[in-house]
Amino acid sequence: MVQKAEKIWFDGKLVPWDEANVHVLTHTLHYGCGVFEGIRAYHCTDGRSAVYRLREHMQRLIDSAHILGMKIPFSLDELVQAVVDTLVANKMKAGYIRPLVFIGDGVMGVHPGANPIRLAIAAWPWGAYLGDDALLKGIRVKTSSFCRLHVNTMMTKAKACGNYVNSVLAKTEVVADGYDEALMLDTQGFVSEASGENIFVIKNEVIKTTPLTSVLPGITRDSIMTLARELGYEVVEQLFTRDELYVADEAFFSGTAAEITPIREVDRRTIGAGQAGPVTQLLQKEYFRIVKGENPDYDAWLHEYSI
Ligand SMILES: *Cc1c(COP(=O)(O)O)cnc(C)c1O
Protein backbone atom coordinates (compact mmCIF):
# COMPACT_ATOMS: atom_id res chain seq x y z
CA MET A 1 0.00 0.00 0.00
CA VAL A 2 1.12 3.53 -0.76
CA GLN A 3 1.87 5.38 2.44
CA LYS A 4 -0.54 8.31 2.49
CA ALA A 5 0.73 11.87 2.64
CA GLU A 6 -1.42 14.90 3.49
CA LYS A 7 -1.79 16.79 0.23
CA ILE A 8 -1.77 16.25 -3.50
CA TRP A 9 -1.13 19.06 -5.96
CA PHE A 10 -4.05 18.98 -8.39
CA ASP A 11 -4.56 21.43 -11.28
CA GLY A 12 -2.68 24.18 -9.48
CA LYS A 13 -4.02 23.71 -5.95
CA LEU A 14 -2.96 21.59 -2.97
CA VAL A 15 -5.93 19.42 -1.99
CA PRO A 16 -6.33 16.84 0.80
CA TRP A 17 -5.01 13.39 -0.26
CA ASP A 18 -8.47 11.76 -0.14
CA GLU A 19 -10.04 14.48 -2.27
CA ALA A 20 -7.75 14.13 -5.29
CA ASN A 21 -10.37 12.18 -7.27
CA VAL A 22 -11.64 12.06 -10.87
CA HIS A 23 -14.80 11.04 -12.69
CA VAL A 24 -14.97 7.49 -14.12
CA LEU A 25 -15.45 8.99 -17.59
CA THR A 26 -11.97 10.50 -17.45
CA HIS A 27 -10.69 10.06 -21.01
CA THR A 28 -7.23 8.74 -20.03
CA LEU A 29 -8.80 6.05 -17.83
CA HIS A 30 -10.38 4.57 -20.96
CA TYR A 31 -7.78 5.11 -23.66
CA GLY A 32 -4.44 5.43 -21.81
CA CYS A 33 -3.37 8.72 -23.35
CA GLY A 34 -1.53 10.30 -20.42
CA VAL A 35 2.07 10.82 -19.35
CA PHE A 36 3.86 10.69 -16.03
CA GLU A 37 7.16 11.03 -14.22
CA GLY A 38 8.91 9.23 -11.40
CA ILE A 39 11.24 11.42 -9.35
CA ARG A 40 13.07 10.99 -6.08
CA ALA A 41 13.91 13.50 -3.39
CA TYR A 42 16.75 12.48 -1.10
CA HIS A 43 17.64 13.50 2.42
CA CYS A 44 21.30 14.40 2.01
CA THR A 45 23.99 13.29 4.42
CA ASP A 46 24.60 16.88 5.54
CA GLY A 47 20.92 17.44 6.39
CA ARG A 48 19.86 19.19 3.16
CA SER A 49 16.92 17.89 1.14
CA ALA A 50 17.20 17.78 -2.63
CA VAL A 51 15.12 16.58 -5.56
CA TYR A 52 17.35 14.70 -7.98
CA ARG A 53 17.55 16.29 -11.47
CA LEU A 54 14.13 17.88 -11.04
CA ARG A 55 14.26 20.21 -14.07
CA GLU A 56 15.25 17.36 -16.39
CA HIS A 57 12.35 15.26 -15.12
CA MET A 58 9.82 18.05 -15.60
CA GLN A 59 11.23 18.86 -19.06
CA ARG A 60 10.79 15.18 -19.94
CA LEU A 61 7.18 15.38 -18.70
CA ILE A 62 6.61 18.31 -21.07
CA ASP A 63 8.34 16.41 -23.89
CA SER A 64 6.30 13.25 -23.24
CA ALA A 65 3.07 15.30 -23.40
CA HIS A 66 4.29 17.04 -26.56
CA ILE A 67 4.92 13.67 -28.23
CA LEU A 68 1.32 12.67 -27.46
CA GLY A 69 0.05 16.02 -28.71
CA MET A 70 -1.01 17.25 -25.26
CA LYS A 71 -0.30 20.77 -24.11
CA ILE A 72 0.43 21.07 -20.38
CA PRO A 73 -1.15 24.32 -19.12
CA PHE A 74 1.87 25.15 -16.90
CA SER A 75 5.40 26.36 -17.65
CA LEU A 76 8.55 24.42 -16.77
CA ASP A 77 9.27 26.83 -13.90
CA GLU A 78 5.74 26.42 -12.56
CA LEU A 79 6.05 22.62 -12.72
CA VAL A 80 9.37 22.65 -10.88
CA GLN A 81 7.88 24.88 -8.17
CA ALA A 82 4.78 22.66 -7.94
CA VAL A 83 6.92 19.63 -7.04
CA VAL A 84 8.73 21.59 -4.33
CA ASP A 85 5.39 22.92 -3.02
CA THR A 86 4.04 19.36 -2.84
CA LEU A 87 7.03 18.14 -0.82
CA VAL A 88 6.92 21.14 1.50
CA ALA A 89 3.13 20.83 2.05
CA ASN A 90 3.70 17.20 3.08
CA LYS A 91 6.78 18.04 5.18
CA MET A 92 8.68 15.40 3.25
CA LYS A 93 12.48 15.56 3.54
CA ALA A 94 12.71 12.62 1.11
CA GLY A 95 10.31 10.63 -1.01
CA TYR A 96 9.07 9.53 -4.39
CA ILE A 97 7.21 12.04 -6.54
CA ARG A 98 4.67 11.11 -9.21
CA PRO A 99 3.45 13.84 -11.56
CA LEU A 100 0.65 12.66 -13.88
CA VAL A 101 -0.78 14.50 -16.88
CA PHE A 102 -4.08 13.19 -18.17
CA ILE A 103 -7.08 14.06 -20.29
CA GLY A 104 -10.15 14.78 -18.18
CA ASP A 105 -13.80 13.98 -18.83
CA GLY A 106 -15.97 15.64 -21.48
CA VAL A 107 -16.42 13.87 -24.81
CA MET A 108 -16.05 10.08 -24.81
CA GLY A 109 -14.86 9.32 -28.37
CA VAL A 110 -11.28 8.32 -29.08
CA HIS A 111 -10.61 11.88 -30.25
CA PRO A 112 -10.23 13.78 -26.97
CA GLY A 113 -11.86 16.92 -28.36
CA ALA A 114 -11.49 19.88 -26.03
CA ASN A 115 -11.41 17.81 -22.84
CA PRO A 116 -9.23 19.50 -20.21
CA ILE A 117 -5.58 18.53 -19.76
CA ARG A 118 -5.20 17.91 -16.05
CA LEU A 119 -2.14 17.57 -13.86
CA ALA A 120 -1.68 15.94 -10.48
CA ILE A 121 1.49 15.62 -8.39
CA ALA A 122 1.54 13.11 -5.56
CA ALA A 123 4.44 12.28 -3.25
CA TRP A 124 4.92 9.49 -0.77
CA PRO A 125 7.73 7.71 1.08
CA TRP A 126 9.18 4.86 -1.01
CA GLY A 127 12.24 2.77 -0.18
CA ALA A 128 14.15 0.48 -2.54
CA TYR A 129 11.76 -0.39 -5.42
CA LEU A 130 12.90 -3.99 -5.77
CA GLY A 131 13.85 -4.36 -2.10
CA ASP A 132 17.00 -3.60 -0.07
CA ASP A 133 18.35 -7.07 -0.80
CA ALA A 134 18.03 -6.41 -4.53
CA LEU A 135 20.33 -3.38 -4.31
CA LEU A 136 22.89 -5.40 -2.37
CA LYS A 137 22.81 -8.87 -3.91
CA GLY A 138 21.16 -8.42 -7.29
CA ILE A 139 17.99 -9.82 -8.80
CA ARG A 140 16.81 -12.76 -10.89
CA VAL A 141 15.52 -11.82 -14.34
CA LYS A 142 13.61 -13.64 -17.05
CA THR A 143 13.16 -12.69 -20.69
CA SER A 144 9.52 -11.80 -21.25
CA SER A 145 7.43 -13.35 -24.00
CA PHE A 146 6.21 -9.78 -24.69
CA CYS A 147 8.35 -7.56 -26.93
CA ARG A 148 9.05 -3.94 -26.14
CA LEU A 149 7.01 -1.56 -28.26
CA HIS A 150 7.83 -1.06 -31.91
CA VAL A 151 8.79 2.60 -32.40
CA ASN A 152 5.88 3.19 -34.75
CA THR A 153 3.33 1.36 -32.59
CA MET A 154 3.83 3.45 -29.47
CA MET A 155 6.03 6.43 -28.77
CA THR A 156 8.90 4.99 -26.79
CA LYS A 157 10.45 8.38 -25.91
CA ALA A 158 7.30 9.33 -24.04
CA LYS A 159 6.78 8.07 -20.50
CA ALA A 160 3.19 7.36 -21.45
CA CYS A 161 0.52 5.65 -19.34
CA GLY A 162 -0.63 3.39 -22.19
CA ASN A 163 2.91 2.12 -22.82
CA TYR A 164 2.72 0.56 -19.41
CA VAL A 165 0.18 -2.07 -20.45
CA ASN A 166 3.17 -3.70 -22.13
CA SER A 167 5.22 -3.30 -18.92
CA VAL A 168 2.48 -4.69 -16.67
CA LEU A 169 2.04 -7.74 -18.94
CA ALA A 170 5.78 -8.44 -18.86
CA LYS A 171 6.19 -7.86 -15.13
CA THR A 172 3.20 -9.95 -14.01
CA GLU A 173 4.26 -12.77 -16.32
CA VAL A 174 7.75 -13.11 -14.86
CA VAL A 175 6.69 -12.47 -11.24
CA ALA A 176 4.16 -15.32 -11.58
CA ASP A 177 7.09 -17.50 -12.67
CA GLY A 178 9.07 -16.52 -9.55
CA TYR A 179 11.43 -13.90 -11.01
CA ASP A 180 12.04 -10.34 -9.85
CA GLU A 181 12.00 -8.41 -13.12
CA ALA A 182 11.36 -8.84 -16.85
CA LEU A 183 13.96 -8.42 -19.55
CA MET A 184 12.28 -7.20 -22.70
CA LEU A 185 13.57 -7.57 -26.25
CA ASP A 186 12.74 -5.13 -29.06
CA THR A 187 10.75 -6.22 -32.11
CA GLN A 188 14.00 -7.06 -33.93
CA GLY A 189 15.06 -9.34 -31.09
CA PHE A 190 17.75 -7.17 -29.50
CA VAL A 191 17.82 -6.42 -25.78
CA SER A 192 15.69 -3.36 -25.04
CA GLU A 193 15.06 -2.63 -21.35
CA ALA A 194 13.07 -3.86 -18.35
CA SER A 195 9.46 -3.05 -17.44
CA GLY A 196 10.54 0.35 -16.09
CA GLU A 197 14.33 0.40 -16.08
CA ASN A 198 17.16 0.73 -18.59
CA ILE A 199 19.86 -1.95 -18.79
CA PHE A 200 23.66 -1.92 -18.76
CA VAL A 201 26.14 -4.75 -19.37
CA ILE A 202 29.86 -4.74 -18.58
CA LYS A 203 32.47 -6.89 -20.33
CA ASN A 204 36.22 -6.41 -19.92
CA GLU A 205 35.58 -3.09 -18.16
CA VAL A 206 33.66 -1.67 -21.14
CA ILE A 207 30.18 -0.49 -20.19
CA LYS A 208 27.43 -0.93 -22.76
CA THR A 209 23.81 0.17 -22.84
CA THR A 210 21.11 0.00 -25.48
CA PRO A 211 20.83 3.04 -27.80
CA LEU A 212 17.75 5.26 -27.59
CA THR A 213 15.69 3.38 -30.16
CA SER A 214 13.07 1.31 -28.35
CA VAL A 215 13.92 2.51 -24.84
CA LEU A 216 12.84 5.37 -22.62
CA PRO A 217 15.67 7.94 -22.28
CA GLY A 218 16.30 7.38 -18.58
CA ILE A 219 17.72 10.18 -16.49
CA THR A 220 19.45 7.58 -14.31
CA ARG A 221 20.87 6.05 -17.51
CA ASP A 222 22.24 9.46 -18.47
CA SER A 223 23.63 9.99 -14.95
CA ILE A 224 25.44 6.65 -15.04
CA MET A 225 26.92 7.28 -18.49
CA THR A 226 28.22 10.69 -17.36
CA LEU A 227 29.55 9.31 -14.08
CA ALA A 228 31.18 6.23 -15.64
CA ARG A 229 32.98 8.32 -18.25
CA GLU A 230 34.22 10.67 -15.55
CA LEU A 231 35.55 7.63 -13.67
CA GLY A 232 37.52 6.72 -16.82
CA TYR A 233 35.38 3.91 -18.22
CA GLU A 234 34.58 3.49 -21.90
CA VAL A 235 30.80 3.70 -22.35
CA VAL A 236 29.12 2.64 -25.59
CA GLU A 237 25.51 2.77 -26.78
CA GLN A 238 25.03 -0.23 -29.02
CA LEU A 239 22.43 -2.90 -29.72
CA PHE A 240 23.25 -6.27 -28.18
CA THR A 241 21.63 -9.68 -27.97
CA ARG A 242 20.43 -11.66 -24.99
CA ASP A 243 23.34 -14.11 -25.28
CA GLU A 244 25.76 -11.19 -24.99
CA LEU A 245 24.00 -10.43 -21.71
CA TYR A 246 24.33 -14.10 -20.62
CA VAL A 247 28.13 -13.92 -20.97
CA ALA A 248 28.60 -10.39 -19.57
CA ASP A 249 30.92 -9.98 -16.57
CA GLU A 250 28.27 -7.83 -14.87
CA ALA A 251 24.85 -6.36 -15.63
CA PHE A 252 22.48 -3.98 -13.89
CA PHE A 253 19.21 -2.10 -14.32
CA SER A 254 18.92 1.66 -13.82
CA GLY A 255 15.95 3.86 -13.02
CA THR A 256 14.75 6.46 -10.55
CA ALA A 257 12.71 3.86 -8.64
CA ALA A 258 15.13 0.91 -9.00
CA GLU A 259 18.24 3.16 -8.71
CA ILE A 260 21.15 0.83 -9.64
CA THR A 261 19.98 -2.76 -9.22
CA PRO A 262 22.52 -5.51 -10.00
CA ILE A 263 21.35 -8.49 -12.11
CA ARG A 264 22.67 -11.81 -10.82
CA GLU A 265 20.78 -14.21 -13.06
CA VAL A 266 19.02 -14.11 -16.44
CA ASP A 267 16.96 -17.04 -17.78
CA ARG A 268 18.59 -19.35 -15.19
CA ARG A 269 22.09 -18.42 -16.31
CA THR A 270 24.35 -16.87 -13.69
CA ILE A 271 25.72 -13.47 -14.71
CA GLY A 272 29.42 -13.15 -13.85
CA ALA A 273 30.02 -14.32 -10.29
CA GLY A 274 26.29 -14.29 -9.49
CA GLN A 275 26.48 -11.20 -7.31
CA ALA A 276 26.92 -7.46 -7.69
CA GLY A 277 30.16 -7.05 -9.68
CA PRO A 278 32.94 -4.59 -8.81
CA VAL A 279 32.10 -2.00 -11.50
CA THR A 280 28.39 -2.16 -10.64
CA GLN A 281 29.23 -1.73 -6.95
CA LEU A 282 31.44 1.26 -7.68
CA LEU A 283 28.82 2.96 -9.87
CA GLN A 284 26.12 2.25 -7.31
CA LYS A 285 28.25 3.69 -4.50
CA GLU A 286 29.11 6.81 -6.52
CA TYR A 287 25.47 7.25 -7.62
CA PHE A 288 24.28 7.18 -4.00
CA ARG A 289 27.03 9.65 -3.06
CA ILE A 290 25.74 12.04 -5.75
CA VAL A 291 22.04 11.82 -4.84
CA LYS A 292 22.86 12.21 -1.15
CA GLY A 293 24.87 15.37 -1.79
CA GLU A 294 28.26 13.86 -0.96
CA ASN A 295 29.90 14.73 -4.28
CA PRO A 296 30.04 18.52 -4.78
CA ASP A 297 31.03 18.05 -8.46
CA TYR A 298 27.41 17.08 -9.11
CA ASP A 299 25.63 19.67 -6.98
CA ALA A 300 24.06 21.10 -10.17
CA TRP A 301 21.93 17.92 -10.32
CA LEU A 302 20.42 18.60 -6.90
CA HIS A 303 17.40 20.85 -6.54
CA GLU A 304 17.57 21.83 -2.89
CA TYR A 305 14.49 22.75 -0.89
CA SER A 306 13.84 23.37 2.76
CA ILE A 307 10.90 22.54 4.96
C1 LIG B 1 10.98 5.69 -16.25
C2 LIG B 1 11.52 4.60 -17.10
C3 LIG B 1 12.88 4.27 -17.10
C4 LIG B 1 13.89 4.91 -16.19
O5 LIG B 1 14.00 6.28 -16.36
P6 LIG B 1 14.64 7.20 -15.21
O7 LIG B 1 14.57 8.57 -15.77
O8 LIG B 1 16.02 6.72 -15.01
O9 LIG B 1 13.79 7.00 -14.00
C10 LIG B 1 13.31 3.28 -17.99
N11 LIG B 1 12.43 2.65 -18.80
C12 LIG B 1 11.13 2.93 -18.79
C13 LIG B 1 10.22 2.19 -19.69
C14 LIG B 1 10.64 3.92 -17.96
O15 LIG B 1 9.33 4.19 -17.97
The ligand 1 atom at the shortest distance from the C-alpha of residue 38 is: 9
In this structure, which residue's CA is closest to atom 1 in ligand 1?
A: 196
Residues annotated as catalytic (active site), given as ranges: 159
Give, for 209, the enclosing helix (H) or strand (E). strand 206-209
- Asked if residue 130 has pLDDT above 90, the reply is no
**Can you tell me the distance from the alpha carbon of 100 to that of 156, in angstroms, rounded to the nearest whole number?**
17
Which residue's CA is minimally distant from atom 10 of ligand 1?
Answer: 197
- The pLDDT value recorded for residue 254 is 98
Pocket probe for ligand 1: among 36, 37, 197, the residue whose CB has the most ligand atoms within 8 Å is: 197
**Phi then psi dihedrals of residue 99, to 5 deg:** -80, 140
Q: Which residues contact 134 (CB under 8 A, 6 or more apart)?
A: 128, 180, 258, 261, 262
Residue 129, pLDDT > 90, answer: no
| pLDDT 10s digits, 139-198 | 999 999 999 999 999 999 999 999 999 999 999 999 999 999 999 999 999 999 999 999
pTM: 0.97
In sequence order, what DSSP letters do the residues of 24-56 get, joined into one string?
Answer: TT-HHHHH--EEE--EEEEE-TTS-EEEETHHH
The model's pLDDT over 106-116, given as tens digits with 9 standing for 90+, comes to 999 999 999 99
